[in-house]
Amino acid sequence: MSGGDPAGRLVRPFTLTGGRTRPSRADFTLITTVTAVDPQPETLTRPQPEHTRILRQCAEPVAVAELAARLDLPVSVVVILLCDLLEAGRITVRPPCPVTRTTPDLNLLQKVRDGLGRL
Amino acid sequence: MALAGSDAPDTVKILIAGGFGVGKTTMVGSVSEIVPLRTEEPLTTAGLDVDDLDGIEQKRSTTVALDFGRITIADDLVLYLFGTPGQQRFWFMWNDLALGALGAVVLVDVRRPRSSFAAIDFFERRDIPFVVAANGFHGEHPYPVEDIREALALPEAVPVLLCDARERASCRDVLIALIDLLIAEAAPVGR
């Protein structure tokens, strides 16, 4: 965590979002999976370069945190851009497994345990 | 909302917490199938919205880094491990991180257990299940588990393990201990 911008970005992150600092919807978590719609919908407006970068990165399903790391952008910025893409019908979204203390999913836990056991 | 078809995997997460420099990223790296990734968040607090605009270009931007790794559990299930920011002043990020987590591992450096007190407090207060893993630096464990439990004032219900954050098998066993705790808590009988 050095000062300045080690990534050498030419623009400050929130310039990419048109100055927006809050997403238009709150359903993107760090481990929400996003996938580009294939084929992309035909629209008159072409996606902006940053949107295109995201679409390229999520041709295969990818979690929001991973996407942000690959794009070298803060998660909060990526989420705002993802909202645009979702509203434009360019991506699909899969929320993470719901986790509650009151009704734990034993099958899910057993599956995680089995998977870890194979490591 | 447009939901993805069956090709997108389910995702779950576990937090790796503990004091600064206790070995969180090492642990994430030991079990992750990818080199730990890092995202950097600009610090935004309520105060920043009303910050003075003068000299904003000169202001050093402050970011908080988040390291994470991934374990593919099955074709349709992926586990993410998130290292919580170590410095206590970033505790506010833990709330977001903890939301929807299966549970947490609190790593402890037995030479300075104090540095993990905040993490233990955090999970205890929010009733988030966690295990404590004493990371033996250079693989050495000078104190037995019971001494560590006592030093940290941990109840019997919280599993305490000795581990070596550099060792994949050791970290895997810590994660399995956490899942076993969750399964035991979820079981309709017992406890």
Per-residue confidence (pLDDT) for residue A3, from 0 to 100: 43
Per-residue confidence (pLDDT) for residue A4, from 0 to 100: 47
Chain B closest CA to A16's CA: distance in Å? Answer: 14
Per-residue confidence (pLDDT) for residue A96, from 0 to 100: 94
Is pLDDT at A26 greater than 70 in this prediction? no
- Integer Cα distance of B10 and B147 in angstroms: 39
Angle between helices B24-31 and B168-186 (to 10 degrees): 90
Per-residue confidence (pLDDT) for residue B1, from 0 to 100: 47
Collapsing DSSP to helix, strand or coil, A111 comes out as helix
Q: How far is CA B62 from CA B14, B24, B174, in A?
A: 26, 21, 33
ipTM, interface predicted TM-score of the complex: 0.86
| CB-CB under 8 Å, A99 with B102 | yes
Per-residue confidence (pLDDT) for residue B171, from 0 to 100: 97
Q: Does A4 touch chain B (CB under 8 A)?
A: yes
Per-residue confidence (pLDDT) for residue B145, from 0 to 100: 95
Partners of A92 in beta bridges:
A35
The answer to whether the beta carbons of residues B59 and B52 sit under 8 Å apart is no
- For residue B54, being part of any structural domain is answered with no
- Integer Cα distance of B38 and A69 in angstroms: 6
- For residue B49, being part of any structural domain is answered with no
- For residue B5, being part of any structural domain is answered with no
Is pLDDT at A78 greater than 90 in this prediction? yes
**Nearest CB to B39; choose among A65, A91, A109:** A65
For chain B, how many structural domains are there in total?
1
Q: What is the pLDDT of residues A1-23, one digit of tens each?
A: 444 455 555 566 777 787 787 77
The top-level CATH class assigned to A13-117 is mainly alpha
- For residue B48, being part of any structural domain is answered with no
β-pairing verdict for B77-83 and B10-18: parallel
How many Cβ atoms are within 10 Å of B123's Cβ, its own excluded?
23
| CB-CB under 8 Å, A96 with B10 | yes
Where are the domains positioned within chain A?
13-117
pLDDT category at A92 given cuts 50, 70, 90 is: very high
Q: Does A69 touch chain B (CB under 8 A)?
A: yes
CATH classification at residue B71: 3.40.50.300
> For chain B, which ranges sit under pLDDT 70?
1-6, 43-62, 88-89, 188-191
- For residue B53, being part of any structural domain is answered with no
| CB-CB under 8 Å, B102 with A109 | yes
- For residue B181, being part of any structural domain is answered with yes
| CB-CB under 8 Å, B5 with A33 | no
Per-residue confidence (pLDDT) for residue B52, from 0 to 100: 44
